[in-house]
Amino acid sequence: MHRSVRAAALAGLPLLLCGAFIALRANGQQVPQPGSRTIMDAHNCYPYFEWWGDRIDRALSAGTPVAIEQDLGWYTDSTTGKSWSVVTHGDPITGEEPIMEQYFFARVRPIVEQALKEGDKGDWPLITLNLDFKDNKPEHLAAVLALLRKYQPWLTSAVKLSHIERAQPLDVKPILVLTGEADAQQTVFYDQLHEGERVMAFGAIHTEDKDPQAAPEILDSEKANNYRPLVEQPVESCGTQRTAACGGVDSGKDESSSGFGRARSRQRSLDPLLHPRRCNPARP
């Protein structure tokens, strides 16, 4: 993560996720094109030890649509041997951290249930859930998949096919779940699903071995597929030179670097649904 973005995140400042849907709605209408929708991305939106327990409330108080990041670690109790997933920034993990079902899903329940009742899909997904796994243990990923299945009616999904190259239309719901680029995550969230099951978490393009300042066609050289169908390209800030890439957001700053900005390796790849840009307009 670039220093300025990391500083904002650690200070609890929101980032912006600028993007739009480019899929077709069920009624045949085309939704807004890339750059026409800008949403806040509540990065590191969870408590740090005993601090900032209200971060998710603060993020949701801004209204929807909104993006919320949850970092997940795998904890094993040394006495009982029992293991479970916790929301945490990383070691040391004590087992006292909240679990995602309690901290995220219980908190957004009223929003999601009201949205489903009203049935107005104009701004769906209302919440983009960004999952940042601190490990890729198969048992951890499987536990999170089991949790997602519990809330499947809330989640944007696509049908699993035998050929991953064939990206399928998304059934858009109030929540969209995005995960990382690790192949271990694809194994659990896509490869091991039976044909015809629903894909409920969508992965990122591979960028770890690429120059983060390379041209977009180099960073995003993969063809969209059924697991990695969207691209998320973070940028360092949204200055006056970047308004086209950042949905018209103008911070009043004249940044000299390119509009594509400084890319971090945590890109997403979901072209038929979103083409967001993440930016920090309040660069310290």
Other C-beta atoms lying within 10 Å of the C-beta of residue 7: 14
Tell me the two tokens of residue 32: 């807004």
CA 138: distance to chain centroid?
Answer: 20
- Segments forming the whole domain that contains residue 95: 3-279
262 found inside a domain: yes
129 found inside a domain: yes
pLDDT of residue 207: 78
pLDDT in tens, 164-192: 999 899 999 999 999 999 999 999 999 99
Mean pLDDT, rounded, of the chain = 74
122 found inside a domain: yes
146 found inside a domain: yes
Q: Tell me if 112 sits within 8 A of 118, measured CB to CB.
A: no
Confidence of residue 270 (pLDDT cuts 50, 70, 90): very low
DSSP single-letter state for residue 179: -
284 found inside a domain: no
258 found inside a domain: yes
Other C-beta atoms lying within 10 Å of the C-beta of residue 163: 8
pLDDT in tens, 18-64: 443 333 344 444 444 555 667 888 988 888 777 777 899 999 998 99
Buried b (16+ CB within 10 A) or exposed e, 121-159: beebbbbbbbbbbbeebeebbebbbeebeebeebbbbbe
Tell me the two tokens of residue 65: 């649509």
DSSP single-letter state for residue 20: -
Q: What percent of the chain shows pLDDT beyond 90?
A: 50
Separation between Cα atoms, residue 206 and residue 187, nearest integer Å = 15
| DSSP codes of every residue in 192-242 | TSPTTSEE--B-PPP-TTS-TTS-HHHHT-SPP-SSS---BEE-S---GGG
pLDDT of residue 86: 96
pTM of the model: 0.73
274 found inside a domain: yes
**Which residues are within 8 A (CB) of 218 and not within 5 positions of it... i.e. 6 or more apart?**
210, 211
Domain count, the chain: 1
Separation between Cα atoms, residue 31 and residue 192, nearest integer Å = 32
Amino acid code (one letter) for 186: Q
